[in-house]
Amino acid sequence: MEKETAVFAGGCFWCTEAVFNTLKGIISAKPGYSGGDVAHPTYEEVSSGETGHAEAILIEFNPEEISYKDLLTVFFASHDPTQANGQGADIGEQYRSAIFYMNEEQEKEARAYIDELKAEGIPVVTQLEAFTAFYDAEDYHKNYFENNKNAAYSRAVISPKLQKVQGRFQNLLKQHRI
C-alpha cells in the first residue's frame, strides 16, 4: 500500500484529530506540534506561545482511498481559516491555521485551494509553511475525543464539528460515526 503524509494545524488538535480519524483512507492521525523552533516541546511550552509551534496533526493516508485535495477540502470546512491565531475561544499562535506541506505538489495544491477560496471572497489567513519537524504530543492528548466523549469540551466543541463534517462529507467517511 502506498502511503503519504500531511500535516495540518486548525486550532485545537483534539478537534482536528477527531475529524480526520473519521475519514476513509486515513491510516493514522496523531496530535503534536509543528512550525516552531523548539525541539521536543511540551504542551505547557507550546501553550505559553513562546515556541512558535502550532498544535497540529500528522496524517498518514492512502492516496488510493482519499486524495490530498479531499483532505484540504475537509480541513478548510472543519475550522475557520479566516481567524488569525486562534479558533473560537482557543486564542494564540499555537492555534493558528497552517498547512505544513511535504513537497512541491502539496504546496501547489494547497496554494491553488487557498486561491480558489480567496477568489470566492473568503479572506483566508491559513499559513503555508514547508514541513520541517513534527513532535508527538503527550499520550494523554492522543485519541482525546475517543477517550473523553463525555468531557465538556468534547460535547461542546468536538461533537458539533464532527456532526458538521459527517453531514457534509458522507462519501469520505469510514463506516462508523460518532
CA 13 to chain CA centroid, nearest Å: 7
Position 176 confidence tier, pLDDT thresholds 50, 70, 90: low
Domains belonging to the chain, first-starting first, are: 4-172 (3.30.1060.10)
Q: How far apart are CA 164 and CA 174, in angstroms?
A: 15
What residues are labeled active site?
12
Whether the pLDDT of residue 167 is over 70: the answer is: yes
DSSP-derived secondary structure letter, 78: S
pLDDT level of residue 86 (50, 70, 90 thresholds) = confident
pTM for this one?
Answer: 0.94
CB distance 56 to 31 below 8 Å: yes
Among 7-11, 82-86, 116-120, 172-176, name the one with the lowest average pLDDT: 172-176
Tell me what the mean pLDDT of segment 123-136 comes to: 97
pLDDT tops 90 at residue 19 = yes
Residue 59, Cβ density class (10 Å: 0-12 exposed, 13-18 middle, ≥19 buried):
buried
Q: What is the pLDDT of residues 102-118, one digit of tens each?
A: 999 999 999 999 999 99
